[in-house]
Amino acid sequence: MNIRSKALRNYLSATGVLNGTPEQIAYAKQAYRKQYKRNWKAQKRPRKELRVEVTLKQYAAIVQYANAHGMRSTPFARNAIMQAVTGSPIPYGYDRLLQILQLVSMATIATSHNPGAERAHQLLLQAENLLLTHIKQTTP
């Protein structure tokens, strides 16, 4: 078998299928290609990292403020920075708002099949629309 890629040859050798059956080699090649593509995508992902150093007292204040808004410290800090940069208000309970929207949507679907709950269904639809509008207006 002729293998031009040194990396593939090393992978096949490491997995122990270099001298195996053609089916084993084909399966190992597929696994190698999947892993290669996954690694390539992870390296090419357009993300940047920002590291900020704060004192213990500042960190405690950030954590306390984040907990008061029902968030973890990292998403809270990210939202605060984006709010300062974009100038648009980002709701600190954004994840919680999405969860509430999901629950309201589920309740709306549940009441749509019950003919006796028409008024509740209308109120849930109205609440769902208000939440959607609020989320769309407050996210950049």
User: 12 burial class (0-12, 13-18, 19+ CB within 10 angstroms)?
Assistant: buried
Residue (of 99, 87, 101, 86) closest to 134 by Cα position? 101
Banded pLDDT at 58 (limits 50, 70, 90)? very high
Mention every residue, 6+ apart, whose C-beta is less than 8 A from residue 83: 89, 90
* pLDDT(90) > 70: no
Mean pLDDT, the chain, integer? 82
Q: Are the beta carbons of 128 and 105 closer than 8 angstroms?
A: yes
Identify the pLDDT of residue 61.
Answer: 93
Where exactly are the structural domains of the chain? 6-44, 48-90, 93-140
Mention every residue, 6+ apart, whose C-beta is less than 8 A from residue 69: 76, 92, 93
* pLDDT(140) > 60: no
Banded pLDDT at 92 (limits 50, 70, 90)? low
Identify the pLDDT of residue 13.
Answer: 86
Banded pLDDT at 79 (limits 50, 70, 90)? confident
Structure tokens at 111: 């009441």
* pLDDT(27) > 80: yes
Identify the pLDDT of residue 64.
Answer: 92
Mention every residue, 6+ apart, whose C-beta is less than 8 A from residue 111: 117, 120, 121, 124
pTM summary value: 0.40
The pLDDT of 83-101, averaged and rounded, is 72
Structure tokens at 4: 């031009």
* pLDDT(57) > 90: yes
